[in-house]
């Protein structure tokens, strides 16, 4: 029996993970659940899965949860704050950590899990985007296992020549390029001149996937894919010029690996996050995920087209930050988080997201990303400058 800690249990990945876990009670139990403020949702999860610990990042939410749990007669211990997240991620009782907290808040507990040598199912992009070299160093130094839950990276990983060891070293394996597929989001067919009038409601209405608001906006701007390019660089040791993005509107092929002999291996499946979750939970075995089998006849066709940097400037900015190196990717991520939040709160236009990120990349000096202190300092400075740029846009 393996015990699982889920960071971000009330989000879409966390909910999908619990759906897979409940299908295999003989294999997995839940040690800890963690969320930010969604008290009612995590309360219901605690009733069903009865974890030993529940952590709320928000202290007030932790107090509310404790009251509800005690009234219900549950013995689940309630803790709050970042330190508590790090504790459950590195606890002796934890075998598997599902890192699904959105944003920079997921960085420290993911690092804690790596230092403790855990099996990490990584759904948090920012941990690699902000501190790829640092996280991979900790994973290898402590014999942790890092498995990608993102559908694209999980697809790549399944198509890679992966053995039981040396998971992250693919030099001299005959790999010519990695091909990341992207749906293109809800505005892939819009006239570029019309993107100024995009509303938050339109931006979060993804055509293929059910995701949280922030990730949905990132998909609409293609920053989501840009962050995945950065992740792929660190996960698979491939330079940016060997990572290609193509639009694939059906979201059936989740990504591909092109080999020197002309073979292109693709991982296919219905667009459901339970597939990569089940794959990483059970690797190297396979278990039922609850996902419907892919019906190729019903799908009918697979379309591909170029990812246009003019339409998706955020994708170009991600490549720029990756090539610049150092803390540039942490700066990119911080600026994007501030800009997306401002857009969702109707303070800026959809097209202002890329403008703010570009200004912050120019305005904040990149330094070596060789310590957590440097990375977090760059993150904070980028957020400050992004707020300044946002206020300038609001005043015009």
User: Which residue's structure tokens are 């990483």?
Assistant: 280
Instruction: Please state whether the predicted TM-score (pTM) of the whole model is above 0.85.
Output: yes
Cα dihedral 116/34/231/131 (nearest 10)? -60
Judged by phi (left if over 0) then psi (alpha if -120 to 50, else beta), residue 58 lies in: beta
Where are the CATH 3.40.50.720 domain residues in the chain? 2-148
In three-state form (DSSP H/G/I as H, E/B as E, the rest C), the secondary structure along the chain is CEEEEEECCCCHHHHHHHHHHHCCCCCEEEEEEEECCCHHHHHHHHHHHCCCEEEECCHHHHHHHHHHHHHCCCCCEEEECHHHHHHHHHCCCCCEEEECCCCHHHHHHHHHHHHCCCEEEECCHHHHHHHHHHHHHHHHHCCCEEEECCHHHHHHHHHCCCCCCCCCCCCCCCEEEEEEEECCCCCCCCCHHHHHHCCHHHHCCCCCCCCCHHHHHHHHHCHHHHHHHHHHHHHHCCCHHHEEEEECCCCCEEEEEEECCCCEEEEECCCCCHHHHHHHHHCCCCCCCCCCCCCHHHHCCCCCEECCCCCCHHHHHHHHHHHHCCCHHHHHHHHHHHHHHHHHCCCCCCCHHHHHHHHHHHHCCCCCCCCHHHHHHHHHHHHHHHHHHHHHHHCC
pLDDT in single tens digits along all 396 residues of the chain: 999 999 999 998 999 999 999 999 999 999 999 999 899 999 999 999 999 999 999 999 999 999 999 999 999 999 999 999 999 999 999 999 999 987 778 889 999 999 999 999 999 888 899 889 899 999 999 999 999 999 999 999 999 886 544 466 676 688 999 999 998 888 887 888 888 888 888 887 766 555 678 888 898 999 999 999 999 999 998 899 999 999 998 889 999 999 999 999 999 999 899 999 999 999 999 999 999 999 999 988 999 999 989 899 999 999 999 999 999 999 999 999 999 999 999 999 999 999 999 999 999 999 998 888 899 999 999 999 999 988 887 766
Q: What architecture (CATH level 2) is domain 2-148?
A: 3-Layer(aba) Sandwich (3.40)
Q: Both tokens of residue 335?
A: 């600026």
pLDDT score of 167: 60
pLDDT score of 211: 62
pLDDT score of 166: 46
Q: d(Cα 219, Cα 61) in Å, to the nearest integer?
A: 29
Q: Both tokens of residue 136?
A: 């991979």
């Amino acid at each position: 029996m393996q015990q699982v800690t889920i960071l971000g249990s009330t989000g879409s990945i966390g909910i999908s993970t619990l759906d897979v876990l409940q299908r295999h009670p003989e294999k997995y139990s839940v040690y800890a659940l963690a969320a930010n403020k969604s008290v009612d949702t995590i309360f219901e999860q605690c009733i069903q899965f009865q974890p030993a610990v529940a952590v709320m990042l928000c202290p007030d939410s932790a107090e509310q949860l404790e009251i509800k749990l005690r009234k219900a007669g549950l013995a689940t211990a309630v803790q709050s704050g970042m330190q508590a997240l790090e504790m459950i991620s590195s606890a002796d009782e934890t075998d598997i950590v599902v890192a699904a907290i959105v944003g920079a808040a997921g960085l420290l507990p993911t690092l804690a899990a790596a230092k403790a040598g855990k099996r990490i199912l990584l759904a948090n992009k920012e941990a690699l985007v902000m501190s790829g070299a640092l996280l991979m160093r900790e994973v290898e130094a402590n014999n942790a296992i890092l498995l990608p839950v993102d559908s694209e990276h999980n697809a790549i990983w399944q198509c890679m020549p992966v053995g039981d060891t040396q998971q992250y070293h693919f030099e001299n394996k005959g790999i010519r390029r990695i091909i990341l597929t992207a749906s293109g989001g809800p505005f892939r067919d819009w006239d570029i001149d019309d993107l100024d009038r995009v509303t938050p409601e339109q931006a979060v209405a993804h055509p293929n996937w059910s995701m949280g608001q922030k990730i949905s906006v990132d998909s609409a701007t293609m920053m989501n894919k840009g962050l995945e390019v950065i992740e792929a660089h660190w996960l698979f040791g491939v330079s940016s010029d060997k990572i290609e993005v193509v639009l694939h509107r059906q979201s059936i092929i989740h990504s591909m690996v092109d080999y020197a002999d002309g073979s292109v291996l693709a991982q296919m499946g219905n667009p459901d996050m339970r597939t990569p979750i089940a794959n990483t939970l059970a690797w190297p075995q396979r278990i039922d995920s609850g996902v419907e089998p892919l019906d190729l006849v019903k799908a009918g066709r697979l379309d591909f087209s170029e990812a246009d940097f003019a339409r998706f400037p955020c994708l170009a900015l991600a490549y720029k930050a990756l090539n610049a190196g150092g803390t540039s990717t942490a700066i990119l991520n911080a600026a994007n988080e501030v800009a997306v939040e401002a857009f969702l709160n109707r303070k800026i236009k959809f097209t202002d997201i890329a403008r703010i990120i570009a200004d912050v990349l120019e305005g904040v000096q990149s330094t070596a990303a060789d310590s957590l202190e440097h990375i977090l300092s760059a993150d904070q400075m980028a957020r400050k400058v992004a707020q300044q740029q946002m206020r300038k846009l609001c005043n015009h």
